[in-house]
Copies of this chain bind each other. A is one copy, B any other.
Amino acid sequence: MEVVKTITEVRSLVKSAREQGKTIGLVPTMGALHVGHISLIERSVRDGCFTVVSIFVNPTQFTPGEDFEKYPRSLNTDLKICKDNKVDLVFVPTAEEVYGKEMLTWVNVEKLTEPLCGKFRPGHFRGVTTICAKLFNIVIPDVAYFGQKDAQQAIVIKKMVADLNMPLEIIACPTVREPNGLAVSSRNQYLSPDERKDAACLYNALQRCEQMAKSGITHTPQLIAEMRKIIEAAPTVKQIDYIEIVDTHSLQPLEKITDKALLALAVKIGATRLIDNILIDTTS
């Protein structure tokens, strides 16, 4: 496994791999790797890719007041995880290497970045799409792997790739969960034992909503009220940013579930903001 810090090195190593006829798979991460990231790496390796993992805590996707400074960083552990999981190349750039002296160019996806987390994290998705555009141009992967846990992010990136005709495929992989249902996230490290226990309420609420919808209760205000009740019952829940039931393509709120829907929520448990979601289909 190679570990490199510069764009030039990445390009040269990827070029060699491509000349050997290999397909290039990219797993973009902010480090603090966990079983969710490992599932993406495993998928890339299983797909037979020359697997590139980028580790970069991207400052432009944090909004002022968020946890950029204290975001968990654990490079040595991350590199061990990469090596154990057969990663071929790890790209660990500095912010200077990525953004240079004066960054003036931004990629923005309209509409899809406005609801859900877009309302609460202004500029976040612009930071995400821009860093992904850069990483795609640096690594030039055939496939990039993202977690379905960040559902809106996956949808926004797929739209960017389609709209700008970027020559790669985006694969969104299933959310990995802890035994109590909590979606695995680097930010789960922030939770106290009580908070982690309470955080199970998020997936419980999503599952309850799916059950109800499949049993024929399709009017979304009623479903949302039920999810809210379940979540508010957890003692350490501090604030609900949103609980929404939206169209899986437009991300616009649905009044009624007729077939597919994305159930998505963002909730502060103690001081930690967690997101979760499930895709449901009441016809299947």
A residues whose Cβ falls under 8 Å from a Cβ of B: 7, 11, 100, 103-112, 129-130, 133-134, 137-138, 140, 159-160, 162-167
Contact = CB atoms under 8 A, between A and B. Distances in A.
Contacts of A103: 163
Contacts of A11: 167
A106 B110 CA distance: 8
Given A105-B107, A105-B109, A106-B108, A100 B166 contact: no
B133 A164 contact: yes
Contacts of A140: 167
B167 A107 contact: no
B110 A108 contact: no
A163 B7 contact: no
A138 B137 CA distance: 13
A103 B112 CA distance: 11
B106 A167 contact: no
Contacts of A107: 105-108, 164
Contacts of A138: 165
7 contacts: A7-B165, A11-B167, A104-B110, A105-B109, A105-B110, A105-B164, A108-B108
Contacts of A129: 105
B111 A104 contact: yes
Contact of A162 (B100, B112, B133): B100
B167 A134 contact: no
A137 B100 contact: no
A134 B107 CA distance: 12
Q: Which of A103, A106, A162, A164 has the most CB of B within 10 A?
A: A164
A172 B160 CA distance: 28
B104 A163 contact: yes
A108 B111 contact: no
Q: Which of A105, A110, A164, A167 has the most CB of B within 10 A?
A: A105
A203 B76 CA distance: 61
Contacts of A7: 165
Contact of A105 (B100, B137, B163): B163
Contact of A104 (B100, B109, B134): B109
A91 to B, nearest CB: 12
Contact of A167 (B133, B137, B160): B137
